[in-house]
Chains A and B, each alone.
Chain A
Amino acid sequence: MAQAPALPMDLAPVERRVAAGFWSDAFWRLRHDPPTVAAFAMLLLLVALSAGADLLADRVFGISYIKQDLFNTYRKPILEQPSWWLGSDNLGRSEIVRLLYAGRVSLFIGAFGAAVSMTVGVVLGISAGYFRGWWDDLVVWLVSTVSSVPRLFLLIIVGLLFRLDPLSLAVFIGLLGWLGISNLARGQTFALREREFVLAARTIGATPVRVMLRHVFPNVLPLLIVIAMIDVGAIILAESGLSYLGFGIQPPVPSWGNMLTGATQFLSRAPWLVYGPGFAITLTILCLYLIGDGLRDALDPRLRGAK
């Protein structure tokens, strides 16, 4: 850019605009992207509803998620009674209250699983890209091996062998989901480690750990955030698929997936039970996907104006 012409003395600059940094610029772009803002609001609402499940069940619906009412099974959804807004299931439990608690389980697994796969993927990916050599070969072999086993097949074995609570299931799904992240981090690190600033850091004696943490990682971070959003969705999908098959979260703990299994069994008697959990999953993943999309547009300067 050309240098600003010198201003006449009487026209003193009123205000100096500070150039927007990378993150504030990205944030500005995000705020001006209606679909992303809407998706973000929707997701927050879902999280808030799940987090407040105890309170809502107590105050609004007046019924706990395990309360059975065998005189009122297969109730159709009606507006008058809050706990039957989405009907009741085969044991007379309130569908909407269970949906809230299930959201808690499913969202937790998505978030925690993504955190696990993020950590593993970033550590393995960056270190493989940075050190290369036999360590890189090992990581690549591990990635190609795990990615060659159909993920659901592996999860079924895991679910078959261990009785899984939400925490351990999240860890397992996370441990199988780091492949894409690791590939991405590794590829980026390959390019970054040849750059001058990395060389400069090494010249002044920075340890490899410091170079990776302070110089490589921040440059990989924006792309990783995008992947993380999509990953949370993928993990929720994996969990619900596994629970749908009966190898994931076991009843009476509700998850969106195992609620659908229950609903399938009573498809002819109570078809409305399918819609609640199904749409809950769809909505969550849709939001995460839109947020990921919006974040990518906001965080990747190369994409700007390409739309």
Chain B
Amino acid sequence: MQAIPTLLGIMVLTFLLTRLSPADPIDFMVGGVTDITAADREALREAYGLNRPLPLQFVDWAWSAVRLDFGKSFFSHRPALQLIGERIPNTLQLAVAGLLVGLGLGVPLGVVAALARGSPADHTIRVLSVVLHAIPDFFLGLLFVLILGVQLRWFPIGSMNTIGVDCGFCWDRIWHMAGPVLLYANAGIATYPRYLRTEVLEILGQDFVRTARSKGLRERIVVAVHVLRNALIPVVSLLGGILTIVISGSVIVEQVFNWPGLGRLLFEAAQNKDYPVVQASVLIGSALLLASYILRDIAYAWVDPRIKVR
């Protein structure tokens, strides 16, 4: 229920930011057309409701946004929602895969680092996670494109499919996804080992681990059942920050790899000053983030039974 005032706040913020601009949207709409008269401009302003008081405009806009009507793109003249709807599956495909790969690599690395404390593996993992944390996403992506794409030609340098091939979700797609997915996974690989190492070490020192060991359980089972179950709590609580990075970073990842997703749509719309599409993608992006926060909270309650869902 807390999501509702938050959503309202996001709407006010998005609306105000685009309307407070010193520039006149009509200028962008007519673009290069020079032989437009003042009367035509006035008619356009009237038609788009730009002459009415700001609060009224907001109520209007918010009411249609609630009904998922974000207006039409200034350029393609198609409904903004339709444009976004086409892009969302592409973004989610990458983001979910990246999140999973990040978890799949980051969590084991953290556990290994803790179990092999002080060993070369531990130090390597620590240095790796610090360095990965420091490299900006776009630079890492560019290095990937430059070295593995341009110079070695192991991976394609962008887009979702080889031209002419569209087989849905097949090897060609997975091959194209490798770069962006790794880039998304970076946030997880850089974050999890650091926190998990401390957490696992702490858990290993606790009484129930000693009990499990002393009743003769094999070490593998102790780690897999007793330790991992408890180490999942910080994994879930760290998800919030990583989700933010993933959704916010979609602009950059999709830009680097020329991936037609929500982030790239926002980027293109922003370049064209296509306000309806910009507003709609910011709202939808925020809604995605809010939804994933709620999912995280549910997962949290599931992982840590001490927390009750209110």
Contacts and interface: CB of A to CB of B under 8 A. Distances in A.
Nearest to B243: A150
B247 interface: yes
A244 B21 contact: no
B267 A156 contact: yes
B134 interface: yes
Interface string B143-155: 1011000110000
A156 B264 CA distance: 12
Nearest to B290: A148
Contacts, number: 135
Contact of A150 (B6, B255, B289): B289
A62 interface: no
A267 B270 contact: no
Interface in B1-26: 2, 5-7, 9-10, 13-14, 17-18, 20-23
Nearest to A144: B6
Interface in B218-262: 244, 247-252, 255
A44 interface: no
Contacts of A281: 136, 139
Contacts of B217: none
B88 interface: no
A146 B270 CA distance: 20
B115 interface: no
A289 interface: yes
Contact of B10 (A149, A268, A274): A149
B195 interface: no
Contact of A282 (B134, B145, B282, B286): B134
Contacts of A286: 130-131, 134
B248 A151 contact: yes
A151 B289 CA distance: 11
Contact of B252 (A152, A268, A271): A152
A289 B270 contact: no
B281 interface: yes
A251 interface: no
Task: From B18, B244, B281, name the one whose CB has the most chain A CB atoms within 10 angstroms.
Answer: B244
A293 B3 CA distance: 34
Contact of A260 (B5, B21, B142, B273): B142
A46 interface: no
B293 interface: yes
Q: How large is the interface on A (under 10, 10 to 19, 20 to 34, 35 or more residues)?
A: 35 or more
A264 interface: yes
A267 B5 contact: no
A245 interface: yes
Interface in A263-297: 263-264, 267-268, 271, 274, 278, 281-283, 285-286, 289-290
A77 B173 CA distance: 37
A157 B286 contact: no
B266 interface: yes
A249 to B, nearest CB: 15
B194 to A, nearest CB: 9
A109 interface: no
B206 interface: no
B248 A161 contact: no
Contacts of A160: 21, 270, 273, 278
A237 interface: yes
Given A161-B17, A267-B150, A154 B282 contact: yes
A162 B146 contact: no
B136 A241 contact: yes
Given A145-B5, A153-B251, A267-B146, 7 more contacts: A146-B9, A151-B244, A153-B266, A157-B14, A157-B270, A278-B142, A283-B134
Interface of B: 2, 5-7, 9-10, 13-14, 17-18, 20-23, 130-131, 133-139, 142-143, 145-146, 150-151, 244, 247-252, 255, 266-267, 270-271, 273, 278, 281-282, 285-286, 289-290, 293
Interface of A: 141-142, 144-154, 156-162, 233, 237, 240-241, 244-247, 260, 263-264, 267-268, 271, 274, 278, 281-283, 285-286, 289-290
6 contacts: A148-B7, A153-B248, A160-B21, A160-B270, A161-B20, A241-B252
